[in-house]
Structures are given as structure tokens and as C-alpha cells.
Structure 1
Amino acid sequence: MDGLTAFGLLAVTAMLLCYALENRSHLFILCFAGACLLGSAYGFLQGAWPFGVVEAIWAGVAFRRWWSARNRSARAP
């Protein structure tokens, strides 16, 4: 396994774990957004730019979800 493949495996594994743990804390949503950015970087580095674009969009969606969840928990009594 070369370094790029290991990086991709790490990114996708982090995405899976963070997605599974999202209900425990809004910080896992932020970690999921970061893992999506890693997945996007992997896509571009391996030459699969459509994968890189889609993962970058998912990172934006996840960041927005984190922002909303953070604000909701700050307002909760």
C-alpha cells in the first residue's frame, strides 16, 4: 500500500467514525467536515477530481450542520 492509498483509507475511515458518532457531540460533526476535506484532498491528489469536488461540498454541508448544532446547544437551557 502506497502513501496516497493509506491517506485515502485514513480519510474515509475518519469520515465513517465521525459520522457514526455525530449524535454524541456537535464536535463530531466538525470532525466529519474535516475528514471530508481530507477525502476531497485525496480525490484531487489521485486524479479523481469529481470525487474531490463532491467531498468538498460535503465538507461545506457538514460545516453548516456543525454551525447550526453549535448554536442550538449554546441556546439550550
Structure 2
Amino acid sequence: MDALTLFGLASVTAMLVTYALEERSLWFTLAFAFACLAGSAYGFLQGAWPFGLVEAVWAVVAGVKWRRRRALP
């Protein structure tokens, strides 16, 4: 297994774990956004630009969700 594949595995695993824990803390939502960015980077680096693009959109969606949840009292 090469370094890029390990990076992809770590990114997708982080996405899965942080998504599952998202309702426990708003910080898991932020971590999910960063995991999506890592997944996006992996997609672009391996040449699967549609995957990279979709993960980038998910990162933006999660970032907006985090910001909205953070603003709540």
C-alpha cells in the first residue's frame, strides 16, 4: 500500500468517524469539514476529480453547518 492510498484511507475513515459523532459536539462537525477537505485532496491527487469536487462541496456544507451551530445560544 503506497502513501497516497494510506492518506485516502485515513481521510475516508476520519470522515466516517466524525460524521457518526457529529451530533455529540459541534467540534466533530468542524473535524468532518477538515476530513472532507482531506478526502477532496486525495481525490484530486489520485486523478478522480469528480470525487475531489464532491468532497470539496461537502467540506463547504459542513463548514457552513458548523458556523450556524456555533452561532446558536
Normalised TM-score (structure 2)? 0.98
State the alpha-carbon separation in 2 of the partners of residues 70 and 25 from structure 1.
10
5+ residue gaps, structure 1: none
- Letter matched to residue 67 of structure 2: W
Matched, 1:50 2:50: yes
Deviations 1:11-49 (A, max 9, x none): 000000000100110000000000000000000000000
Query: In 1, Cα distance between the equivalents of 2:22 and 2:49?
Result: 27
Q: 1:70 — aligned with what?
A: 70
Matched, 1:14 2:14: yes
Tell me which amino acid in the other structure corresponds to 1:56.
A
Specify the SS of the correspondent of 1:23.
Answer: helix
Q: Matches of 2:66 and 2:5 in 1, distance apart? A: 28
Between the aligned partners of 1:70 and 1:27, the Cα distance in structure 2 is 9
Number of residue pairs the alignment of both structures matches? 73
- Given the two structures, how large is their TM-score scaled by the length of structure 1? 0.93
Higher radius of gyration, 1 or 2: 1
